[in-house]
Amino acid sequence: QKEVEQNSGPLSVPEGAIASLNCTYSDRGSQSFFWYRQYSGKSPELIMSIYSNGDKEDGRFTAQLNKASQYVSLLIRDSQPSDSATYLCAVTDTGGFKTIFGAGTRLFVKA
Amino acid sequence: DTAVSQTPKYLVTQMGNDKSIKCEQNLGHDTMYWYKQDSKKFLKIMFSYNNKELIINETVPNRFSPKSPDKAHLNLHINSLELGDSAVYFCASSQGAGSNSPLHFGNGTRLTVT
C-alpha cells in the first residue's frame, strides 16, 4: 500500500468552478499535512498546511482533514487558468522527521 | 534574497562520471533534505540532516554521499553516475526535525546522464 495516495488525474475544470483534490494516507500517527503546488519545470511551493481535523481556509483555498478516515482534501474556489499545475499532497511520518509525498494530481483549468 | 539555493541548475554528464550538487539555505533552519523527483514527478526523500547530523538515510545506493559542513549547507556527491540517476534533485529545508514544519525547496538540479 502506498503511503500517500492521490488520483493522478488529469483533473479538468472550467474557469470559475471549484476544483476538488483528494488524498489518503496510511500512517495513523501522522500529525502534519501539506498541499504543495508545482508548476512544470519549477519547484514545489507550499500553499496550505493543516494540523487538526476540520477545515482551514486561506483565500480561495480550503484544506480539509479527517484523521479518522485518513483523508485530506484541497478545494480551490473560483479556479483560474493560473491554477493549472500539479498539486502534491504531503504528510509527515509519526515522528515528524520525514515528509512523504503523493504522486500528485495534475489540474487543468480551462478558460 | 533566495531562501534555498542550489547549484548547478542543470548538469549533463556521461555514465561513470562523478558529480556534486551544492545547496545553501539562509532561513536559519536546522534541518536540510535531499529529494529526488523522477520522470513521473514522484518526489522521494533521500537524506535528511539536522544540525549537520545525518538523521534519515533512505534506501539509496552508496554511490550517493551527502555532506553537511554546517547547518546552512548540504551537498550531494554522486559517484559512478548511471543512466537511472537522471532526475531532478531538490534540496529543501525546514525549521527542525520532528517539528512537523513545512519544507522550503530550492529550484532543483536537473541531472541528465548520457
Residue A33: partners with Cβ closer than 8 Å, 6 or more residues away: A25, A49, A50, A51, A63, A65, A72, A89, A90, A91, A92
Residues 14-53 of A with CB under 8 A from B: 31-32, 34, 38, 42-46, 49, 51
The count of CB pairs under 8 A between chains A and B is 56
Residue A28 grid cell: 495513523
Task: Please give the DSSP secondary-structure letter assigned to residue A83.
Answer: G
Cβ-based contacts of A49 with chain B (< 8 Å): 102
- Taking 80 as the threshold, does the pLDDT of residue B92 lie above it? yes
Residue that the C-alpha cell 489540474 belongs to: A107
Q: Which H or E run includes A75?
A: strand A71-76
Question: What is the C-alpha to C-alpha distance for residues B85 and B108, in angstroms, rounded to an integer?
Answer: 14
Mean pLDDT of chain A: 95
With CB atoms and an 8 Å threshold, state whether B90 touches A44: yes
Please compute the mean of the pLDDT values over residues A27-51 and round it to a whole number: 95
With CB atoms and an 8 Å threshold, state whether A100 touches B42: no
Query: Amino acid letter at B95?
Result: Q
Cβ-based contacts of B41 with chain A (< 8 Å): 38, 86, 103-104
What is the pLDDT, as a whole number, of residue A71? 96
What is the pLDDT, as a whole number, of residue B98? 74
Model confidence at B33, in pLDDT bands (50, 70, 90)? very high
Across A6-10, A16-20, A30-34, A99-103, least confident range: A6-10
What is the pLDDT, as a whole number, of residue B100? 81
- Taking 70 as the threshold, does the pLDDT of residue B1 lie above it? no
Model confidence at B84, in pLDDT bands (50, 70, 90)? very high
What is the pLDDT, as a whole number, of residue A95? 82
- Taking 80 as the threshold, does the pLDDT of residue B9 lie above it? yes
- Taking 60 as the threshold, does the pLDDT of residue A1 lie above it? no
- Summarize pLDDT for A89-103 with one digit per residue, the tens: 999 988 888 999 999
Cβ-based contacts of A23 with chain B (< 8 Å): none
Model confidence at A2, in pLDDT bands (50, 70, 90)? low
Model confidence at A68, in pLDDT bands (50, 70, 90)? very high
- Taking 60 as the threshold, does the pLDDT of residue B51 lie above it? yes
